[in-house]
């Protein structure tokens, strides 16, 4: 499955491919065609390092399968030379297509496919669960006017970015990663889908940064209106990722060695979008440390020692909101055969795909304000006597939202 194609992005393969192409040009392509008055297809060198010689029009050329992972060297690849003297062009891609499907060692491929598919299915399941919870949370946020505030507005945009990111990740994994023929044919739509998914992911991290920026700004200057910060967050969250992704896509589309296999595999060009993401996470760490410092300083003025512990817990809950847990996965194990690599791969799949679920649970379904509103709505539905309507009892539970907001406003009686 997809694991076999990671080879084509490796430096070793690229160097060997360049050497193979040089040898093909020297020994075959530079030679003169047969002087017999017949029509021939001109020589070609392909991405599987196949060197196709002059081939008579209307015939099929064969080459032994290359020594690549998942290939059997006992089989043959073929390339059709059409009667008009041109090589066969795949109708989906509009590009010349040499058929290597018969080269696959299906026993090895089956084993690799099962491993890769399990990893992909775990990600799809996680993203799907997150989508359901995020959409439910957004319905709640938009249904109650009592939740219309700047803080919730930032949450809404963060949740929307999660929905877009999770949705396109599910689509990309389902229609590209699970379909090897799409990777081989590399149609334009799959590269466009990659770019959209890339934008969604970068925008998602941008809104995590906006959460830290908004909260830090309010705590540092509690008297300042959050509306100006909201406008800045809109630009950072939606527009900046659009510019970064456009630059990335524009440059990558011009480089021939970075346009194969639906852009599925990592490219150094992705640092155009990755670098700002990593920088934003570093800044969020600074925000988190400063928020904790300010909360502890203010709460030390309160008579109860438990307030400090609550401040620490509150800032701890900020970690998934700001996406700081992703810093644990920056370094990937080098040995793909080790158990540590498998553990790392599945851990990343679970944490990344369920991130939206974690955040929606913590900041919507476990939010005291939201629970109070939902309880009140439920009690209203249960009222059976029109003349004796019962008022829903307000919950006194505080949430991390109100906890931090009230501390930032200097309210020492919030508990």
The confidence band for 88, taking pLDDT boundaries of 50, 70 and 90, is very high
Cβ neighbours of residue 208 under 8 Å, at least 6 residues apart? 158, 280, 281, 284, 321, 322, 323
Query: Residue 391 and residue 405: Cα distance in Å, rounded?
Result: 27
Residue 62: its pLDDT value, please?
A: 95
Residue 77: its pLDDT value, please?
A: 92
Residue 301: its pLDDT value, please?
A: 67
> 331-361: per-residue pLDDT in tens?
777 666 667 877 888 888 898 899 999 999 9
Q: Angle, nearest 10°, between helix axes 150-172 and 188-220?
A: 160
Cβ neighbours of residue 40 under 8 Å, at least 6 residues apart? 33, 34, 54, 55, 56, 57, 81, 85
Residue 308: its pLDDT value, please?
A: 55
Q: What is the DSSP string of 64-75?
A: EPPS-TTB-TTS
The confidence band for 374, taking pLDDT boundaries of 50, 70 and 90, is confident
* pLDDT above 90: residue 373: no
Contact 79/49 with Cβ under 8 angstroms?
A: no
- pTM to 2 decimals? 0.68
> 313-337: per-residue pLDDT in tens?
666 778 888 887 777 777 777 666 6
What mean pLDDT is reported for the chain? Answer: 79
Residue 268: its pLDDT value, please?
A: 78
Q: Specify the 3-state DSSP secondary structure of 60.
A: strand
Residue 66: its pLDDT value, please?
A: 85
Residue 218: its pLDDT value, please?
A: 82
Residue 415: its pLDDT value, please?
A: 28
The confidence band for 389, taking pLDDT boundaries of 50, 70 and 90, is very low
Residue 131: its pLDDT value, please?
A: 96
The confidence band for 288, taking pLDDT boundaries of 50, 70 and 90, is confident
Which of residues 258 and 324 earns the better pLDDT score? 324
Residue 130: its pLDDT value, please?
A: 95
pLDDT above 90 covers a percentage of the chain that reads: 34
Alpha helix (H) ranges present in 300-338? Answer: 306-322
Pairing of the two strands 44-45 and 55-56: unpaired
Residue 257: its pLDDT value, please?
A: 56
The confidence band for 10, taking pLDDT boundaries of 50, 70 and 90, is low
Query: Residue 56 and residue 40: Cα distance in Å, rounded?
Result: 4
208-217, 253-262, 313-322, 399-408: segment of lowest average pLDDT: 399-408
Query: Residue 67 and residue 65: Cα distance in Å, rounded?
Result: 7
Residue 397: its pLDDT value, please?
A: 36
């Amino acid at each position: 499955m997809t694991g076999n194609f990671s080879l084509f992005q490796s430096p070793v393969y690229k160097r060997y491919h360049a050497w193979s192409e040089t040898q093909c040009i020297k020994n075959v392509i530079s030679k003169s065609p047969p002087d017999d008055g017949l029509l021939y297809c001109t020589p070609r060198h392909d991405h599987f390092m196949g060197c196709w010689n002059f081939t008579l029009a209307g015939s099929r050329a064969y080459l032994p399968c290359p020594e690549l992972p998942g290939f059997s060297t006992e089989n043959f690849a073929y390339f059709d030379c059409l009667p008009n003297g041109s090589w066969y062009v795949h109708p989906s891609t509009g590009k010349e297509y040499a058929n290597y499907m018969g080269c696959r060692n299906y026993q090895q491929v089956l084993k690799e496919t099962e491993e890769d598919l399990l990893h992909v299915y775990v990600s799809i399941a996680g993203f799907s669960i997150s989508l359901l919870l995020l959409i439910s949370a957004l319905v709640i946020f938009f249904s109650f006017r009592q939740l219309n505030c700047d803080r919730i507005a930032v949450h809404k945009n963060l949740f929307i970015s999660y929905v877009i990111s999770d949705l396109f990740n599910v689509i990309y994994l389902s229609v590209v990663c699970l379909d090897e023929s799409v990777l081989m044919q590399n149609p334009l739509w799959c590269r466009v889908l990659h770019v959209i998914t890339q934008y969604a992911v970068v925008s998602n991290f941008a809104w995590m940064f906006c959460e830290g920026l908004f909260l830090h700004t309010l705590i540092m200057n509690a008297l300042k209106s959050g509306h100006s910060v909201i406008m800045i967050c809109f630009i950072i969250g939606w527009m900046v990722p659009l510019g970064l992704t456009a630059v990335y896509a524009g440059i990558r589309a011009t480089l021939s060695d970075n346009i194969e296999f639906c852009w599925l595999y990592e490219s150094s060009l992705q640092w155009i979008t990755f670098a700002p993401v990593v920088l934003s996470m570093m800044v969020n760490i600074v925000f988190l440390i400063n928020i904790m410092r300010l909360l502890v300083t203010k709460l030390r003025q309160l008579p109860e020692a438990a307030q400090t512990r609550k401040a620490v817990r509150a800032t701890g809950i900020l970690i998934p909101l700001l996406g700081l847990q992703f810093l644990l996965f920056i370094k990937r194990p080098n040995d793909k055969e080790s158990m540590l690599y498998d553990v790392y791969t599945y851990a990343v799949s679970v944490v990344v795909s369920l991130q939206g679920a974690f955040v929606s649970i913590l900041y919507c379904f476990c939010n005291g304000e939201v629970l109070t509103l939902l309880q009140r709505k439920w009690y209203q539905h249960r009222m059976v006597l029109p003349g004796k309507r019962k008022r829903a009892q307000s919950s006194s539970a505080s949430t991390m939202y109100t906890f931090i907001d009230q501390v930032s406003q200097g309210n020492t009686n919030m508990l």
